Amino acid sequence: MRFEQQKTRLIIHDKGTQLWIEPWGENSLRVRMTAETQMDAHDWALTEKMPEITPEIELKEIDVTDPWYAGEEYAHYHQTGVCARLTNGKITVQVTHEGWLSFYNQKGELLTQEYWRNRNRLNRYCVPIRLEARVLKPITGTSDYALTARFEAFDDEMIFGMGQYQDKRLDKKGSLLELAHRNSQASVPFYVSSRGYGFLWNNPAIGTVTFGMNRTEWTAQSTKKLDYFITAGDTPAEIEKQYSFAAGRTPMMPEYGLGYWQCKLRYRTQDELMAVAREHKRRGLPLDVIVVDFFHWTRQGEFKFEPLDWPDPDGMVRELKEMGVETVVSVWPSVDDRSENYAEMNDRGYLIRTDRGQPYHMLWMANCAIYDATHPGAQAFVWEKCRQNYYTKGIRCFWLDEAEPELDQYDFDIYRYYEGPALQCSNVYPVGYAKGFYDGLRAQGETEILSLVRCAWAGSQKYAVLTWSGDIHSSFRSMREQLQAGLSMGMAGIPWWTCDIGGFLSGMNDDPAFRELLVRWFAWGAFSPVFRMHGERSPWHEREQEFRNGVRQLTGGQDNEVWSFGEENYEIFKSYLFMRERLRPYIRECMREASESGAPVMRPLFYEFPQDAACWKVEDSYMFGPDLLVSPVMEAGVSERGVYLPAGCTWTDAYTGKVYEGGQRVIVPAPLHVIPVMVRGGKSYPIYHA
C-alpha cells in the first residue's frame, strides 16, 4: 500500500486500485475508488462547483503490533505500516495501516467506519474472514465491475432520507432498499444519520442498500467506480445545507405553485377543462393551476394537442391566464412507432436501445420506445417539439410523467443509454428528463421554472423538480405511506413534493368510506408543499370510440372537483382552499428557505428539535416549515388524535386555541372537518380563524 498527497487530495494505491479522498465543500469529503488506470470522469449528482479548500493531511509511520500475537515466538508477525489522516473542518477521515476508513467529527466522536473483516491484511498468515469493505469485482469479459461497499452498523443509529419507497418506515434502519426507480418508487440515495452525518451514494447504477443490524451494505450490479460523499454537522439542518450546496438547491417556487392545483384522470376535451375552470371562478374558489393530462395528443411522441378535442389551445391558455390560472400539460417519454418523430429519433440514436429483444419498451396503447433522456441531443429534440407545440401557446409548466422511466418489464440488463448500460446509469434518467426542460425554458428567458415529475434522483432538485409519488392506492394505508415518503424525499434533498390527494387508484366517488378518506387527505394536502387534487376516480367512463383515425382512444375517470363529493364535504374542501390562501405568505417563506439552504418544506420533528430525543421517534406528525406541527388523521372513524409536542416551547392548538407545554403527548380533537395543527409558541397564523 502506498500513500500519495496530490494537492488537496489524498490517494491510496493498493494492488492495482486507487482510492481518492478529498474535501468537497464545507465539513465534507468525497471518496472515490477505481481499479482502472484512470478515474471515471462522471460527477453524477456532484456537479456544483466547489470552493478551493485546503485540508489538514497527515501521513505517518506507525508500529503495528497485533496483540493476538504477543511474545517472542510471534515476533516475525510484527509489521511496520503507514496510516493517514485528513481533516476538513468538522470531519476527519482516518486511514489505518490495513487501508480501512473511519470518519470522526470535530469532537473526536466516531460517525461511521468501514466494515472490514480482513484482519492484519499485511500478513498473509492471518486473514480469518477475508471480507473487505470495498470490493470492485471484475465482470468477466468486460471493463465493468460489480461493486460492494460495507460499513459498520450501530445500535443507536437512525437513518432518514433515501427518497420515496412505498412502506411505512420513516427510520430506514433495518430496511432493504432497491436502488432503482419504479412507478411510485424514487431512489434518491442520500440520508441523514442521527449520529451527525449525511451520506450520498453518488452512483446511479442499479443495486441495493441494506441498513442491517450487523452492517450496512451497498451494492451496484455494474459500475466503473466507487463514489460517495459524506458530510458532518451539529444539526440535521447543517447537514442538509452542506449536502444541498454540493448537489444543488432548488430554485424559488413560482407563485402559482403555492396555491391550489386541480387535476383529474383526465379532462378529455378543451370544453370539459374550461367548464371546470369557469365553475371554480363562478363559485369564487381559489385556483392557481389546472392540468391537461395524458392522451390529449395526436400520438405518443408527437408532443402536440389533438385538434379534434383541443381546437383552440391558444385561446384556452389565454383565457385561463386572464383568470389567473396556469396551464400545465402532460408530456410522456414514450414514442409510438407510427408517430411523425419516431424515424428521426431512432435514426439519431435518441431512443433507448435494447441489447436483445424487440426495440419497444412500452406496449400500452401502442408499440412505443422511450426517448433517451441521458442524451443531450434527445433532450434538446424533445424540448424543441414542446417549445413549438406548447410553449408558443403560453404554456410554461410541464408534467413530465413516466419519468422512471416506467417500462413494461423492469429488466434493466437489456437496455442501453447514451450514458452507458442501463445497469450502470438508469437512476439518472429523471435528472436528464427534467434538465432538458429546465435548460430549454432558461434559454427562452424564463426565470420561474417548475416541472411536475414522477421521479427524481440526487440532484434533480436543481432543475426545478416537483416530484409526486406516482400511481398510489386510495386507502388510509397508502396515505400513511405517503407521509413518510414525503418526509423521506425532503430529507433526501428534494424539498418540492406532492402526492395525489385521495390516492390515484380505486377511489369510488359515491363510496362513503372513500369520501371520508378524501376529506382527510385533502386537509393534509393543504399542509403539503404543493396542494394538488388528482385521481382516476372509478369507474372510468365508457369509451365513445375505441379507435379514431387509426389511433386508440383513452377515456377518463369520474368527476374529481371539490363539488363532486356531496354538499357537506364541499364546505369542508372550500374551507381548506381558503385556509391555504391565508397561509400563502408563510408557505412562500418556507419555499424561500428551501431555495436558500436546502431545508425541506415538510420535515420530521427532529429537524427543528434535534435535542429532544423523543422527536427522533415520531413518524406520524411533521413540521410544515419551522412553526406548524401537523398531525394528519390517517385512519377511519376517529374524532381525536394523539400528538407529541416537542420540548423547549409552548404549543397552541390552531383549532381550539388551547395552549400546551412542550415535552408531552396530548390528545386533541379531530372531527372530520379538522386536521390537528399546533402552532409554535410566540407565533400566530390565520389557520382556522382568519
CATH number reported for the structural domain that contains residue 636 in this entry: 2.60.40.1180
Residue 178 sits at the vertex; the CA angle it makes with 265 and 141, to the nearest 5 degrees, is 120
The residues pairing with 664 across neighbouring beta strands, listed in sequence order, are 645
Q: Give the three-class secondary structure for 638.
A: coil
Q: Are 669 and 656 in contact (CB under 8 A)?
A: yes
Q: Which of 161, 201, 206 is nearest to 182 (CA)?
A: 206
The answer as to whether 530 is a domain residue is yes
Q: How many CB atoms lie within 10 A of CB 545?
A: 10
Q: Distance of alpha carbon 65 from its chain centroid, rounded?
A: 47
239 and 273 together in one domain? no
Catalytic annotation on 401?
yes
The answer as to whether 496 is a domain residue is yes
Cell 511496520, residue located: 80
371 and 222 together in one domain? no
Q: How many CB atoms lie within 10 A of CB 504?
A: 24
550 and 647 together in one domain? no
Cell 505517518, residue located: 60
Helices then strands, counting H and E runs in the chain, come out as 12, 41
**Domain end (from 247, 273, 296):** 247
531 and 563 together in one domain? yes
The answer as to whether 689 is a domain residue is no
178, 471, 516, 620: the catalytic one is 471
240, 302, 402, 404: the catalytic one is 404
Q: How many CB atoms lie within 10 A of CB 407?
A: 21
The answer as to whether 690 is a domain residue is no
Q: What does the pLDDT read at residue 358?
A: 86
Cell 385561446, residue located: 315
3-state helix, strand, coil in the chain (%, to 5): 25, 30, 45
Distance CA 203, CA 226 (A): 8
Q: Is 383 exposed, middle or buried (0-12, 13-18, 19+ CB in 10 A)?
A: buried
200 and 342 together in one domain? no
198 and 226 together in one domain? yes
107 and 237 together in one domain? yes
Catalytic annotation on 581?
no
265 and 196 together in one domain? no
The residues pairing with 459 across neighbouring beta strands, listed in sequence order, are none
Question: Positive or negative CA dihedral for 419, 421, 426, 429?
Answer: positive
Is the bond leading into 543 cis (omega within 30 degrees of zero)?
no
Residues of the chain where predicted confidence (pLDDT) is lower than 70? 61-82, 119-127
Q: What does the pLDDT read at residue 33?
A: 98
Distance CA 585, CA 338 (A): 49
The answer as to whether 685 is a domain residue is no
360 and 507 together in one domain? yes
493 and 540 together in one domain? yes
The answer as to whether 668 is a domain residue is yes
3-state secondary structure 118-147: CCCCCCCCCCCCCECCEEEEECCCCCCEEE
The pLDDT tens digits for 50-104 are 999 999 999 986 655 544 334 444 343 334 455 899 999 999 999 988 889 999 9
98, 401, 419, 653: the catalytic one is 401
Distance CA 273, CA 265 (A): 11
Q: Distance of alpha carbon 601 from its chain centroid, rounded?
A: 13
**CATH classification at residue 203:** 2.60.40.1760
Q: What does the pLDDT read at residue 60?
A: 82
Q: Which residues, 6+ apart, have CB-to-CB distance to 465 below 8 Å? A: 250, 430, 434, 451, 453, 456, 494, 496
Q: What does the pLDDT read at residue 62?
A: 62
448 and 407 together in one domain? yes
Q: Give the three-class secondary structure for 309.
A: coil
Q: Is 624 exposed, middle or buried (0-12, 13-18, 19+ CB in 10 A)?
A: buried
Q: What does the pLDDT read at residue 192?
A: 98
* Cα 206 to Cα 151, 404, 468, distances in angstroms: 19, 12, 21
| Rounded percentage of the chain residues whose pLDDT exceeds 90 | 91
Cell of 213: 443490524
**Domain end (from 564, 597, 630):** 597
The answer as to whether 511 is a domain residue is yes
Q: Are 82 and 58 in contact (CB under 8 A)?
A: no
Distance CA 241, CA 235 (A): 10
Q: Enter the pTM of the model.
A: 0.96
Cell 412500452, residue located: 362
Q: Are 452 and 607 in contact (CB under 8 A)?
A: no
Q: How many CB atoms lie within 10 A of CB 223?
A: 27
Range of the domain at 163: 2-247
Indicate the number of domains in the chain.
3
Residue 428 sits at the vertex; the CA angle it makes with 423 and 430, to the nearest 5 degrees, is 125
Q: Report the C-alpha dihedral over residues 519, 521, 522, 527, rounded to 10 degrees.
A: 140
β-pairing, 677-680 vs 628-630, is antiparallel
**Domain end (from 247, 267, 284):** 247
Distance CA 503, CA 473 (A): 5
Distance CA 401, CA 362 (A): 14
The answer as to whether 88 is a domain residue is yes
**CATH classification at residue 293:** 3.20.20.80
Q: Which residues, 6+ apart, have CB-to-CB distance to 275 below 8 Å? A: none
Distance CA 278, CA 289 (A): 13
Catalytic annotation on 404?
yes
Q: What does the pLDDT read at residue 676?
A: 98
Cell of 186: 424514487
Q: What does the pLDDT read at residue 409?
A: 87
Which phi and psi angles does 346 have, rounded to 5°? -65, -45
347 and 420 together in one domain? yes
Distance CA 167, CA 157 (A): 20
Q: Which of 91, 82, 96 is nearest to 26 (CA)?
A: 91
The pLDDT tens digits for 417-435 are 999 999 999 999 999 999 9
